[in-house]
Amino acid sequence: MFRRVAACGIAAFALVSPAVSSGGTNVFADAVAPATSILIATTRDQAQDQIPDQIQDWTNGTQTQVQVSAFNPAEQSIRSKVAVRPEIQSPALTEPFGLITVPVASGEVLTKWSGVEADIQAENNILSRCWVSAELCPAAARRFLAIVEQGQAQTGRARIGIINRAINLAIRPMSDLAQWGVIDRWSTPLATLTTGLGDCEDYAIAKYVALKEVGVAAEDVKLVIVRDLAVGGEHAVAAVRLNGHWIILDNRRLILVEDNEIRQMVPLFVLDQSGVRKFALTIAADARRASEPREGTASALGSL
């Protein structure tokens, strides 16, 4: 999927794996990678009364933010000892990780997501036929609906856990380069389950569709593109809102983790039925990168 393909191709039950570099164009090259010490987020309660000013300040790269140390890969726990979730009071702050986002009107992320959404709709027609007649149901669709039925037998957090676990175990991790011979290819659930192979965005897309199939409201399901500090590359996860809290579904672990418990991920983009939005944090980082002095034609941030 990304320049560092191994950031996605990690077994469902592994926490950390060394990154493997490969060539090619990074779809998310416009999302700057953070330095060793990261300015990750303002807290929800600090931000909720200052939304218009924050958007302007972030764009100018002047917003004061809470500094959080980079994730240490040697640490086994990803829980923050000081993480506190303030009550969410503003609709503008209901995205995963509690950060403001702005719509994306163009670019490769939007192009890819629009294509995937069209393919998902085509697969929904196949799934509808499956409910009517098993004879008209391809093997991959039957496998997917079996996962959906497992989820429908549960409620709440148990339902989410079933979907996360079942899809993690149904797909064997493999990079797009190894499977398709291309750097980045986003596949729909039935396409992924046909081969049984995929990388992080394939897992995330399958969970996104499955969660909606089991009855989770569309506005409560997201795909999130993040910068993963543990392996030094971009990564895709699904996010689902339960009782006002966002739960992150990752192909690299079977446990469910809330967004405010994660400190090794810097959110870049959020995708859902309304399109693609970019986190204001990323816009601020882009602005800071653009303002950095350059040596020759190379940016001071270089390959970060």
Q: Which residue has the tokens 């300040």?
A: 57
| Mean per-residue pLDDT of the chain | 74
Q: Which of 89-93, 152-156, 172-176, 257-261 has the lowest mean pLDDT?
A: 89-93
pLDDT reported for residue 57: 37
pLDDT reported for residue 293: 58
pLDDT reported for residue 74: 35
Q: Of 250 and 52, which is predicted with more confidence?
A: 250
**Mind listing the pLDDT tens digit for each residue in 66-98?**
332 233 333 333 333 333 333 433 444 589 999
pLDDT reported for residue 135: 86
Q: Of 49 and 208, which is predicted with more confidence?
A: 208
CATH 3.10.620.30 fits 5-74+81-291, yes or no: yes
Q: Of 39 and 282, which is predicted with more confidence?
A: 282
State percent of the chain over pLDDT 90.
56
pLDDT reported for residue 211: 98
pLDDT reported for residue 231: 86
pLDDT reported for residue 167: 98
Q: Of 111 and 43, which is predicted with more confidence?
A: 111
Residue 122 has pLDDT above 90, yes or no: yes
pLDDT reported for residue 75: 33
**Mind listing the pLDDT tens digit for each residue in 186-229?**
999 999 999 999 999 999 999 999 999 999 999 999 999 999 99
Break the chain into its structural domains and give their ranges: 5-74+81-291
State percent of the chain over pLDDT 70.
62
Residue 58 has pLDDT above 70, yes or no: no
